[in-house]
């Protein structure tokens, strides 16, 4: 990937704009918010005269990285739009209508839904936050890093690498983190936010360990109803804190967490240590990485269909080993 060339392209667009809106995917994770806040802080540090807005729904669990803004349609229409960490246009989280052909896309997910007037996708990068690090720390970079930018980008990288445990973690990842740490990154503060859960979520974690269905192919699945959420007293967005739990259980290759929505549909997160799961998500109108993806399904029947497809994928993975 030609980072220098793209850096110059996006920098030229930012220079031309007085006002910039930064978007990312819905149901955000630390990389979505970290890259969003990180880029805003880079622009603030480099071009203090420009106005930068961040839009999208914000779960309370991620406000330690930064906060979103509220703007008018007029302000939105007058802004350069940058979309981060969002593989497909239906997942762009924005209260206004977005013309995908008119945005700058920066992402590390497989580029199936090609969009953007300018598009930079590096699937070898651990995270969108890591891509932004490579821009800002590039040899010909004119961008500045602040403590605020470094903390947000660090949180994004730590989030998407599962604290440097996932295979997407590379020598480049550590090189970028090493540079970020020169800007007073609160490592233990960020770790505290990432590893602690409210008591209610911890109780739910116990429930999932106790009740997840495990198949002979090493597929684990949990379906949470609205009643379950009520019973544990947790908000829907807090279930993100328990998605990765089955990864610590021996013999589990991939897993699914279904959470019933108020309208009766189910949001599902798929995670894997080998079997490909994003094709399954795509079959059901979702998307994501080969090893981490999501979708929304309308019925319990379709949820069980996904579990069956996970078993097929796990079987294929096991027989190919
Ligand atoms: Mn990401």
Domain co-membership, 101 together with 141:
yes
Verify that 247 and 306 share a domain, yes or no: yes
**Angle formed at CA 158 by CA 154 and CA 162, multiple of 5 degrees:** 175
Q: Report the separation in Å between the CA atom of 314 and the middle of ligand 1, taken as the mean of its atom positions.
A: 24
Taken in order 9, 10, 14, 15, the sign of the CA dihedral is negative
Compute the distance between CA of residue 176 and CA of residue 247 in angstroms, rounded to an integer. 26
Q: How far is the CA of 131 from the centre of ligand 1 (A)?
A: 10
Instruction: Quote the ligand 1 centre to 20 CA distance (angstroms).
Output: 21
Instruction: Tell how far the Cα of 83 is from the centroid of ligand 1, in angstroms.
Output: 12
What's this model's pTM, rounded to 2 decimal places? Answer: 0.80
Q: What percent of the chain has pLDDT over 70?
A: 100
List, in sequence order, every residue forming a beta bridge with 81; answer none if it has no partner.
Answer: 21
What is the chain's mean pLDDT, rounded?
Answer: 96
CA dihedral 294, 195, 238, 297 (to 10 degrees): 10
Ligand 1 center to 166 CA (angstroms):
13
Predicted confidence at residue 238, as pLDDT, reads: 85
Domain boundary among 129, 162, 194: 194
Q: How far is the CA of 265 from the centre of ligand 1 (A)?
A: 25
Pick from 178, 194, 210: which residue ends a domain?
A: 194
Cα gap 11→23, rounded to integer Å: 17
Cα–Cα distance measured from residue 244 to residue 166, given in angstroms and rounded to the nearest whole number = 12
> What pLDDT score was predicted for residue 51?
98
Regarding whether 227 and 171 lie in a shared domain, the answer is: no
- C-alpha 227 – ligand 1 centre gap (Å): 31
Are both 76 and 211 inside the same structural domain?
Answer: no
Strand order through the sheet with 254-260: 213-214, 219-224, 254-260, 266-272, 292-297, 287-288
Q: How far apart are CA 130 and CA 173, in angstroms?
A: 7
CA of 39 to the centre of ligand 1 (A): 14
Q: 289 CA distance to ligand 1 centroid (A)? A: 9
**d(CA 60, ligand 1 centre) in Å:** 19
Per residue in 31-89, pLDDT tens?
Answer: 999 999 999 999 999 999 999 999 999 988 899 999 999 999 999 999 999 999 999 99
Ligand 1 centroid distance, CA of 73 (Å): 27
Q: What is the distance between the alpha carbons of residues 231 and 263, in angstroms, rounded to a whole number?
A: 18
Q: How far apart are the first and last CA of the chain?
A: 31
Task: Calculate how far, in angstroms, residue 142's C-alpha sits from the geometric centre of ligand 1.
Answer: 24
Q: Which helix (H) or strand (E) holds 209?
A: helix 199-211
Residue 157 in 3-state DSSP?
helix
Cβ atoms within 10 Å, residue 111: 17
Both 145 and 268 in one domain: the answer is no
- Co-location of 12 and 58 in the same domain: yes
- What are the tens digits of pLDDT across the range 247-264? 999 999 999 999 999 999
Same domain assignment for residues 129 and 115: yes
Each residue's pLDDT tens digit, 277-308: 999 999 999 998 899 999 999 999 999 999 99
| Domain CATH number, residue 180 | 3.90.1640.10
- Ligand 1 centre and the CA of 304: distance in Å? 27
CB neighbourhood size of 101 (10 A)? 9
Span from the CA of 233 to the centroid of ligand 1 (angstroms): 29
CA 197 – ligand 1 centroid, Å: 22
What is the CA(128)–ligand 1 centre distance, in A?
A: 5
Residues 168 and 239 in one domain: no
How far does residue 175's CA lie from ligand 1's centre (Å)? 18
Can you say how many angstroms the Cα of residue 50 is from the centroid of all Cα atoms in its chain? 26
Indicate whether 1 pLDDT > 80. no
Q: Looking at residue 237, what is its pLDDT?
A: 79
Q: What is the DSSP letter of 65?
A: T
| Cα 160 to Cα 149: distance, rounded to the nearest angstrom | 17
Which residues are within 8 A (CB) of 308 and not within 5 positions of it... i.e. 6 or more apart?
none
> What's the gap in Å between 157 CA and the centre of ligand 1?
8
Q: Give Cα 229 to chain centroid, integer Å.
A: 23
pLDDT for residue 195: 87
| Statement to judge: residues 181 and 208 lie in one domain | no
Last residue of a domain, one of 141, 169, 194: 194
Dist. CA 71–CA 43, nearest whole Å = 18
Closest to 27 (Cα-Cα) out of 57, 55, 54:
57
Shared domain for 41 and 98, answered yes or no, is yes
**Do 186 and 203 share a domain, yes or no?**
no
Total domains in the fold of the chain? 2
Same domain, 296 and 178: no
Write out the E strands in 92-218. Answer: 104-107, 118-121, 213-214
Domain hosting 149: range is 3-194
Ligand 1 centroid to Cα of residue 82, in Å, is: 15
Sheet-wide strand order for 104-107: 51-54, 19-23, 80-84, 104-107, 118-121
């Amino acid at each position: 990937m030609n980072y220098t060339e793209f850096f110059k392209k996006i920098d030229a667009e930012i220079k031309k704009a007085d006002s910039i809106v930064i978007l990312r995917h819905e149901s955000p994770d630390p990389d979505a918010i970290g890259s969003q806040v990180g880029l805003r802080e880079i622009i603030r540090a480099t071009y203090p005269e420009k106005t930068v807005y961040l839009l999208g729904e914000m779960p309370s669990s991620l406000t330690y990285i930064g906060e979103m803004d509220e703007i008018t349609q007029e302000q939105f229409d007058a802004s350069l739009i940058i979309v981060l960490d969002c593989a497909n246009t239906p997942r762009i989280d924005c209260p206004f209508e977005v013309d995908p052909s008119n945005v700058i896309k920066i992402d590390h997910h497989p580029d199936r839904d090609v969009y953007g007037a300018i598009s930079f996708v590096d699937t070898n990068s651990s995270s969108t936050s890591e891509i932004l690090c490579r821009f800002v720390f590039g040899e010909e970079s004119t961008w500045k890093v602040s403590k605020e930018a470094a903390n947000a980008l660090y949180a994004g990288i730590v989030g998407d690498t599962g604290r440097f445990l996932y295979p997407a973690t590379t020598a480049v990842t550590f090189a970028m983190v090493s540079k970020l740490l020169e800007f007073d990154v609160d490592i233990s503060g960020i770790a505290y936010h990432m590893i602690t859960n409210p008591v209610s979520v911890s109780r739910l974690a116990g429930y999932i360990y106790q009740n997840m269905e495990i198949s002979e192919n090493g597929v684990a699945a949990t379906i949470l109803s609205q009643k379950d959420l009520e019973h544990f007293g947790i908000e829907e967005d807090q279930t993100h804190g328990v998605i990765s739990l089955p990864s610590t259980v021996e013999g589990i290759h991939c897993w699914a967490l279904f959470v019933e929505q108020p309208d009766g549909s189910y949001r599902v997160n798929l995670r894997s240590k080998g079997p490909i799961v994003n094709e399954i998500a795509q079959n059901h109108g979702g998307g994501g990485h080969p090893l981490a993806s999501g979708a929304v399904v309308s019925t319990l029947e379709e949820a069980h269909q996904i579990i069956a497809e996970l078993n097929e994928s796990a079987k294929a993975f096991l027989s190919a080993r």
